Amino acid sequence: MAQAVKGTRDLFGAELRWFQWIESVTHRCMARHGYEEIRTPILEEIEVFKRSVGESSDIVNKEMYDFIDKGGRHVAMRPENTAGVVRAAIQHRFFDTSDPRRLYYIGPMFRYERMQAWRYRQFWQIGAEIFGVAAPEADAENLTLLFELLRELGLSKLSLSINSVGAPESRPAFYQALRAFFDKSESQFCGDCRRRILENPLRVLDCKIPSCQAALEGHPVITDFLDEASRAHHARLKELLNALEIPFEENPRLVRGLDYYTRTAFEVLSSDLGAQSALLGGGRYDGLVKQLGGPDVPGFGWAIGLDRLAMLTQAIHGLPPGKKPALLIPMGQRAALKAMVLAREWRKAGMDIQLETRSITLKKALQTANRRGFQLAMILGDSEIDQGIITVKDLNKGLQEAIPQDGAVAYLSSSQY
Ligand code: AMP
């Protein structure tokens, strides 16, 4: 029997209901903050990721689903979506004006990852990006949106770590100091880190392997090498976060796995997730639009793992949101037709109602209703039709009462189910 491909899964039932709830909260929250949705394709030319995420990053180097299509184009299934959003924004000339542009997306991403808890090869992200504002006020505004969204989702046990990775111009001096440090300690690092030391030493700081983290003890700190403008940016952002009462801690090892970050980099961890499981990450990427062939437009954004959000909201809130629909059970031919007419009327009035369309005994219909988790069964037989009523049975409490058919909508809308 065929199974879902390793690392992918089918979404249904409670998990999907949490996804849908999170998505609807997100759409409302983004609209209030002036962010417009954008839906870009899953497939992009591979260059979009090579030129943005970076050829030496694990994401591009090891984890990308890429292939040559039937027309000979080298394409990749997006491993993240900032690059795709930037590609689209350039293509559709969003940057022809200097007006700030706020965009968000929700969708699946693909990474050929090693299998471990809460890591999938197809996973979902929600992301928000603001383009066109280089000032730290944009960082703070975008983080305000993020924390407002997390608050609306009911998440509280969160910690924000921030760092500044400076401007690219300030990197050479830092790299030099880092390389001098690694010259003395290279043998203590894993094979991947030894490659990173040569290709992109910043990445070593991000390695999750405990022995590498231990070997990093006493490493040069990037914030000591910041250019003046980056230092001022970072100080102002911290001042704004304090004023907005968004608690944060500084983490000088936080550099993130993608090449395009400049200045602010941040992560949010949830204490409900394991130590290695960040809920989200993001930062500033002032050179990215230009790198992908657009004008010199600064940007700032983040991406949250929707899979992890859904898991957390389920752990925090328990049952998925939404009423359980009531089941309308007609008894006999005449009632079958009447029930269809009533169900259509009630749905038009906004009620959730499901119809038993099999001609089965009441006992069997009630068994199905119980098994499928309905809490309300509405029974319609000849005598109910004659009297203009409907029999309502609360399957949890075992209570039964008769209500007038023309009062059914009011009854359903006031019922707690
Ligand atoms: P990144 O794009 O790597 O910064 O990831 C941002 C967020 O997406 C992470 O903090 C996770 O919540 C989520 N994420 C990244 N990779 C995966 C994955 N393979 N499976 C599930 N969630 C992921």
Strand order across the 158-164 sheet: 36-37, 101-110, 122-131, 299-305, 278-284, 264-270, 158-164, 248-250
Pocket of ligand 1 (CB under 6 A): 80, 111, 113, 118-120, 123, 125, 257, 278-281, 303, 305, 307-308
Domain ranges of the chain: 13-167+227-317, 326-414
What separation in Å is there between the alpha carbon of 21 and the centre of ligand 1? 20
Low-confidence residues of the chain: pLDDT under 50? none
Strand order across the 353-355 sheet: 353-355, 326-330, 376-380, 389-394, 400-404
CB count in 10 Å sphere of residue 86: 30
Q: What is the pLDDT of residue 206?
A: 80
CB distance 236 to 264 below 8 Å? no
Q: What is the pLDDT of residue 274?
A: 63
Atom index in ligand 1 nearest the CA of residue 281 equals: 4
What separation in Å is there between the alpha carbon of 126 and the centre of ligand 1? 10
Atom index in ligand 1 nearest the CA of residue 257 equals: 3
Percent of the chain with pLDDT strictly greater than 90: 73
What separation in Å is there between the alpha carbon of 368 and the centre of ligand 1? 40
- Name which residue sits closest to atom 11 of ligand 1, judged by CA: 305
**Mutation choice for ligand 1 from 165, 255, 288, 307, CB with most ligand atoms inside 8 A:** 307
Q: What is the pLDDT of residue 417?
A: 52
pLDDT digits (tens, 9 = 90+) for 118-136: 899 999 999 999 999 999 9
Tell me, yes or no, if the pTM score tops 0.85.
yes
Q: Specify the CATH number of the domain 326-414.
A: 3.40.50.800
Strand order across the 65-68 sheet: 43-45, 74-77, 65-68
| Fold topology of 13-167+227-317 | BirA Bifunctional Protein; domain 2 (3.30.930)
pLDDT digits (tens, 9 = 90+) for 274-323: 655 689 999 999 999 999 999 999 999 999 999 999 999 998 888 877 76
- Name which residue sits closest to atom 15 of ligand 1, judged by CA: 305
